[in-house]
Structures are given as structure tokens and as C-alpha cells.
Structure 1
């Protein structure tokens, strides 16, 4: 998807920390801003009924001409940017991947402009600033979290004040990390609640029951994970308690095994990688791969196990999330494992690790690859089916 429109000014700056990333600063007349830019990459829901949104609407249609000075503008992620200097036209290529390119931040500003620009007085020109990031290896997840943290954390704190995390607090109270979860803004505890929600979100079999859809947001966007938790609460809660069909309530008894599974994969991935390389010839040493660093002092986040490597979750999540194939619903509605996930990991871990690193050695690419998430899921599912058939044959 390419969009060409007039701009008033443009500046391009290469990042001093990563020269492959270029940021374009452009100012365009509100009347010239395209109305159909993709917005799916923005993890925030646009709500124009809030007090802040109403002020934005008034700022667009009012007589103050200094909107571009008073407003932060919009942040866009693009595949490519071209500038026709002779005609003062910019062309933004959003490609066809709406999960990666589009309006990352400033969605309320964008909606306000679209709703009210026809009411701008004819004798006034108003401009909006566009901050456009372009880079093949741009960490979209990190940028999204950084740009959207303030609203996300405030929402989480609000949920905490309304006791909407109480059932989780009670459910994990006796776990080693039970008192280390931070539920409030700036709380001095080791583990943000968002990190625990990501582990649960990856096993949301109500939303991701098979390999047709995959929980990529467990890696690519904490804000989207919280949005899922909020939506589930809105649908399945009564008073200050989740109802029996709330997937996060159903997953709560499995949290200890989910934490153990994630950290076991994290701790044993290096060993599985070396076994894979022994079978398939030489290759890059595990500690030299991008997104992996040697360490002799760090520990895992939840259980505080000593670890030899810090590994990007982009490598771990597509394997971890695949094990939702092992969940099944018992007669009483509770969730349980069809087979012990650790035993399955020990049996097919080398194959799963090979699948990840044969796909790519860029953690950002593999963490967001729907195809990879589907492939790892099928590997676990095939192992489960093989064992189910063996059990039937024994009977």
C-alpha cells in the first residue's frame, strides 16, 4: 500500500545507534493527510469519547493555527519513504503487512483530524507532524511498547485498583514469585504483571484453538496482551470476579507449569541448539547469535534459576506458545495437559529449536513470524497425536 500526498517540510535523520534506521520528520497540511492509513499496528483502542479526545477534536477545528507545535503528532512505521522535491510530494510505502506498518502512535490525533478537518476555517492552514521510521531490522515490538507504555501502565493500574487482578494474586500467592509481581505503577517489585499475562495469553485456546491463528502478540506487543485480558474481563466477569468461562481464570491453575515450561526452554535451548548443530554440521556458536548473550550472573525472571545465556523472547515464544496444542478440557470444564509438556520438550526440543533457527537468526523476525508459530505448533501437535495413537494401540 503506497500513499502519495503533499507536505510542507521534510527532514531525514539516520539513527546514530543504528545507521540502518532512518527517521523522517514531515509536516503536512491536515487537509492533505490520507484518510485510509493502516492503523492495526497501534495497540491502543481509539476512544473519541474521552475528555482528552474531545480536546483534540476542538484543537483540530478551532482557530488556533499552532497545532503542529502543541501536538506531538503521529508516529508511522513504513517499509520505504520517497520524496519528490520538485513537487513537494512524499510517498510512503506501508507494504502489505498491517501488523508491522502503519500508524503506531497518535491514533487519536489521526481520528480527530479525519473527523474535524472539514470544519477548519477556510482562511487557516493547520499542519500535523509525522515521525516516520524506516528500517529493515527495526524492533517494532520495543518501539510499540516504548511509545504506548504510558496508557498501558495506567490501564493496568486502574484494573488493579478495581481488584481485577485479585484472583491472580490469590492464585499465585504461594508460588516462589507470588510476592514479586508488580501490579501498580512504579511498584518496586521484580516482575511486571504484563510479563505474567504474556505467558497466559500465549495459551489462550479460546482465541487460538489451533494453528489457523497464533498468539504472536505474546512476543510483539504487551499492550495487545493487556487489551486481550481487558476484553476477556469485559465479556466474562461478574462483579469483581471472573466467571468460570474466563480463559485467564481457567488458565490460572496451570500458571506454575507455564512458568516452568518457559524457563526450562530458556535454560535448555543452548543444549538443544548444540545437539541440532552436531546432527547438521557446523554453524554459528549459540552465544554469538544476535539476540543471545553470554552471562554468568543473571537468573531467570520468575524462578530465579541461574542461566548461562540471556536469550531474546523472540526465539523462545514461538516454541513456548506451540505447547498450547497439549491443552485439553476435562469433563468438569477445567484445563489440563494431555501430556507432560516438559517430557514433550525433552522429546522434540531439538526439532523445535532447529525449526526456529533454520527460519532466521533475527529474533525480531522469528518472534513475529506467523508461519514459524504455525510450524512449531504442528510439531507439538504431531507428537501429541503420535502418543495418543500409541496409547490407543496399547489398549
Structure 2
């Protein structure tokens, strides 16, 4: 398992060229690795260890047959067994079912947890994969070595010229680039809330309030409560084994089953619940911030100046008002990758080019009108 987890190390490597933001990386990189790690742990516990152990007393049913049968046919509990003092039952939910099929709560999802975690990880990674396809290394090409401040002046001037030439020739052509990234950010937010909805369905309506119920029981005495983790991921359950008797009649054997796997599952999902709540808040904040950023243009110069205080406010104001939203986003992201001193020079020269172009256009219009 260590070798498998070690192979995930490259996903945490620092990006040489930044094409997203920290919340995007937390969602698409850290959460993906986290869920894959949990999936590996649960898979190891399920398929390498013994996920279920059942016994029926002196029924004569072979233990291996009973374990296999109860694992495949699923186990159940009686919700009424969670009420009242714990000293009155063998284990929470393990009470006489009185042949009441409607009152039984069956547990089937623990067999699928390892697969669900893996597919959750893939859905978390999807926005990053989609953005990598759309971005296609554009930012890395634009940086072209300008992220290193200590370099030959000739090389620096050459690369600056290439960058400025690109920005001038491709002016007003980056709106699709910017909106694709913002779509991927919104996709991260939607993914978290849709996954929480899916897990709530997967756990029969017990996931949304899972963490709250677990935390709310911390002030109660152990004798007067049952941990909600036990209700969702029981470690002791019931199983009804049926077989033909000597005369052809159906014999029923009531079995008690221990599920060590659920000890891992309950801790895994209390962490996932807390993490998804935090991540949901962060991604929702990101979407709200991005919406405000798009709808309130006055925010853009302030945001750019805050991240690049070496650049003059005059140049920032000019570019923020004269460039399209997509072009503005490109030069903003360049500020996250280029050396600050070089970036200052690039922005100053680009602002001067924009100013000269606007001046030439005004003079042309005046000459035509006269």
C-alpha cells in the first residue's frame, strides 16, 4: 500500500506555471488524492482482510459459508434497538426483529464504498483535466523564461518583445480562455454540492446531517446515547441465513455479524463530511467572489495592484479600462508567473503601447471628421 500511496506524490508537486488558484487546486488536486487514498485504504481493508465475521451458535452452518452468504445478501438492524438504555440490547440495533420486514434497516452500501470513493475522486479531478485540455499550455508559452529574474539582458529583452508582440496582436481574443476557466471554477462548486447530494442518497438520507449528529452527541453520557456513526456504519449487525432442512422445509438461522470494515468507513466519512463542508464553503465563496469580480469592474484594478504592488497604479487603471475582460485576466495571470521586476516592465511597456494606439485612433478619427 505504501508503494501505491507513494505514487501519488507527483500530484503535490509545485506548478512551475500557475494556471489556476489555490481553491481550485485544493478541490481538484488535494481532494482527488485524498479520496483515492481513502479508496485504497478501504479496498485494502475489504479485500485483503476479513470484512465480515458471522456466527449462529450450534446451527451446523460452516463459518465460511455463513460469512460469504451474509456479505452477499447484506445484513440489517432494527432501528427500534437504538432507543433506550444500551444495557438492554446485545448491541445497538441488534434486537429481536419479530419477523417485521418493514421495520428492518438493511445495510448494503459498505460493499461499494471503495468504488464510490474512487469515482468521487475522478469527478473531483474532472475540472482540472478539462481546464488542462482547454488551456493547452498557453500560459507556459507566454511566460517563456520570464519567471527567472536573474538572466541575460539580451534574452530578457527578446522574450519581453515576443510577449508584448503576442499581447498586441491577440488583443480582445482571450474572452473564451477566461470564461472557460471560470466555468471550471463553477464546476468545482457544483461538483461538491452534487457529491454531497449523491452521498446522502447513497447512505439513505443519513449523510447531510451525519457530522452534525455525531458532534451533537459529545455532551451526552455514553450510557444514554448511541453514536450516529454506529447507526450509519454499524460494526455489529444481524443476518438471517435460510437453508433446506432434512425434510425439505426451510430452516432459518439468526446470525450476528461483526463488520470490522465499518470501523474504517465511519472514520473515513466523518472526515469526508467535515472536509466537504469546508470545501463547499470555499468553492461557494470563490463563485460569489468571481461573480462580484465580473459584475463590478472597479474591483479589477484593486485586485491587480494588490497582487503586484510594483506596477504603477496608472498603468493598471489604463489596462483595466481599455482591455477586454479576457485580456485583463491573461495579464493578471502573467503577474502570478513572471518575475515581479520583469512584470513591472512588461505592464509599463504594454500600457504605453495601448496609450499610443488609443491616441493614434483619436487622431485618425479627428482627421476623418475634419
Q: What band does the TM-score fall into relative to the shorter chain?
A: under 0.3
TM-score (norm 1): 0.20
TM-score (norm 2): 0.21
- Which one has a larger percent helix, Structure 1 or Structure 2? 2
- Which one has a larger percent strand, Structure 1 or Structure 2? 1
If asked which structure has higher relative contact order (CA below 8 Å, sep 6+), I would say 2
Work out which of the two has the higher radius of gyration on C-alpha atoms and give 1 or 2.
2
